[in-house]
Amino acid sequence: MDAPVADAVDRDRLREDLETTGSFGATVRDPPERWGRTVRCGTDANRRAREHLRDQLEAAGCEVRIDAVGNVSGRWTPASADPDAAPIAAGSHLDSVPEGGIFDGPLGVYAALEAVRAMQDAGAEPARPVEVVSFTEEEGGRFADGLLGSSVAAGARPVEDGLALTDDEGGTLEAALEAVGFRGEGRLDAAGWGAWLELHVEQDTQLEEAGVPAGVVTDVTGITHCEVTVKGEANHAGTTPMGERTDALAAASDVVLAVEDAAADRAAVDPAAVGTVGSLEVAPNATNVVPGRVEFGIDVRSVEADSIERIVAAIRAGLEEVADERGVETAFARPFDLPPAPMADRCRDALHGAGDRAGVATRSLHSGAAHDSMHVADVTDAGMVFAPSRDGVSHNPREWTDWADCAAATRVLAGAVADLAGA
């Protein structure tokens, strides 16, 4: 039944949903190919995006639920479905980074809703309910490092801990959700789903370069964040001889290069391995003072846990070496560690099969970015499908996925949802 379902995907309806959502929190609106938006969790723009989704879910005959941390779900239970059967869930998120694009997140949410509409239009009779989901605070930055709603839904974070998270002004997530009318009750339980699928923009160039409209994700990268402090001695830049300096920034520079070297060495055998120093704070940060203290953050990623551990070990060895050679003090912490998440073979097969039957070419690839599917994969079968990103640009108003590619990837998603739901 999934070929008619795929054929029933309405490209114009999907585009209208995405353009409407893109207008909430708009920072740039220069159609057709430049749409910027800022939609932070608990803001007025976030309220409008949530309300629009709720209205669209209800219009499609879905039972809408809001959980305690603001996760939004809409369950469609047609007469053919066993209401007690574990539903097939699909979706993504509605929040954005500051001045982000209109596809990252909303494409996955509205593609999931379009899958429901297409099943309805095609007269599909699924044996299971289908649930459309929008997770809270996927991007992070206001109340968490990201993936907040999915971490609660997967049981990795208690509801109470999530609600108690604060922003830079001391406001809590609970208060922000109450202010926009989306502080619900209970907990969305991902473990109760029969399977989960997420459509997302690729945020890379593999699909574009290959001319393939849909990518089936094999693994979502693991991520480790390390925090490093190098302490030297601040002193006068003019009167301190070069041979008598304990320059914290010069020492930190050695470590930054060690990160690059360690990641490059590992990438020779694991192309998914990357390492980045993305933040740096220098004290006292004055042109005429030898730096006395440097704090910096390191991001290490790979789809292989062993690669992450090898890179981190090399970084720690580099810290020991620089401490011995330059006479600085160093400190190391690893506050964030998210292991790689393989996608379920069952879901991958459903996505590839749906592409074959709909005449949409697919290819396998890994995800170098984190997604809510990582948490969901811990408690049920999960799969992801990517749509091409022009020039690989994302988190930027120039983020763009052609409408034809949005529709093609949605056809793959819709066919897989129908297959897994027994339609």
pLDDT tens profile 176-193: 999 999 999 999 999 999
User: Which of 94, 91, 88 lies closest to 45, judged by CA?
Assistant: 94
Q: What is the DSSP code (8-state) at residue 343?
A: P
User: Which of 327, 324, 274, 283 lies closest to 303, judged by CA?
Assistant: 274
Query: What is the C-alpha separation between 42 and 21, in angstroms, rounded?
Result: 15
Q: How confident is the model at residue 3 (pLDDT cuts 50, 70, 90)?
A: low
Residue type, 378: D
Q: How confident is the model at residue 166 (pLDDT cuts 50, 70, 90)?
A: very high
Tell me which residue range forms the domain holding 293.
222-338
The reply to whether 41 and 187 lie within a common domain is: yes
- State which of 323, 338, 353 marks the end of a domain: 338
Instruction: Give how many domains the chain has, as a whole number.
Output: 2
The reply to whether 270 and 305 lie within a common domain is: yes
What's the pLDDT tens digit per position in 220-233? Answer: 999 999 999 999 99
Query: Which whole-number Å values give the CA distances from 82 to 62, 85, 86, 388, 402, in the listed order?
Result: 15, 5, 9, 36, 37
For residues 279-302, give the mean pLDDT: 98
**pLDDT above 70 (res 1):** no
**Which pLDDT does position 33 carry in this prediction?**
87
Dihedral sign computed on CA atoms, order 217, 218, 220, 224 = negative
% of the chain with per-residue pLDDT over 90: 97
CB 41 within 8 A of CB 172: no
Residue type, 233: E
The reply to whether 99 and 166 lie within a common domain is: yes
Contacts of 400 (CB under 8 A, 6+ apart): 33, 34, 101, 103, 389, 390, 393
The reply to whether 334 and 376 lie within a common domain is: no
**pLDDT above 60 (res 112):** yes
**pLDDT above 60 (res 31):** yes
**Which pLDDT does position 298 carry in this prediction?**
98
**Which pLDDT does position 418 carry in this prediction?**
98
Query: What is the C-alpha separation between 182 and 184, in angstroms, rounded?
Result: 6
**pLDDT above 70 (res 74):** yes
The reply to whether 295 and 333 lie within a common domain is: yes
**pLDDT above 70 (res 422):** yes
The reply to whether 150 and 252 lie within a common domain is: no
Q: What is the CA radius of gyration of the chain?
A: 23
Q: What is the CATH number of the domain that holds 301?
A: 3.30.70.360
Q: How confident is the model at residue 20 (pLDDT cuts 50, 70, 90)?
A: very high
The torsion angles phi and psi of 180, rounded to 5 degrees, stand at -100, 5
The reply to whether 312 and 408 lie within a common domain is: no
The reply to whether 214 and 254 lie within a common domain is: no
The reply to whether 306 and 379 lie within a common domain is: no
Query: What is the C-alpha separation between 184 and 96, in angstroms, rounded?
Result: 21
Give me the chain's average pLDDT, please.
97
**Which pLDDT does position 95 carry in this prediction?**
97
Element (DSSP H or E) covering residue 50: helix 44-59
- State which of 280, 311, 338 marks the end of a domain: 338
Within 10 angstroms of residue 81's Cβ, the number of other Cβ atoms is 20
Within 10 angstroms of residue 7's Cβ, the number of other Cβ atoms is 15
Q: What's the chain's length in residues?
A: 423
**Which pLDDT does position 286 carry in this prediction?**
98
**Which pLDDT does position 11 carry in this prediction?**
98
- State which of 313, 338, 363 marks the end of a domain: 338
Structure token digits, residue 119? 């099943």
Q: What is the CATH number of the domain that holds 374?
A: 3.40.630.10
Whether pTM exceeds 0.95: no
- 38: buried, middle or exposed (CB in 10 Å: 19+, 13-18, 0-12)? middle
The reply to whether 86 and 190 lie within a common domain is: yes
The reply to whether 330 and 350 lie within a common domain is: no
Query: What is the C-alpha separation between 414 and 37, in angstroms, rounded?
Result: 27
**Which pLDDT does position 116 carry in this prediction?**
98
The reply to whether 48 and 190 lie within a common domain is: yes
**Which pLDDT does position 145 carry in this prediction?**
82
Query: What is the C-alpha separation between 389 and 208, in angstroms, rounded?
Result: 7
For residues 259-287, give the mean pLDDT: 97
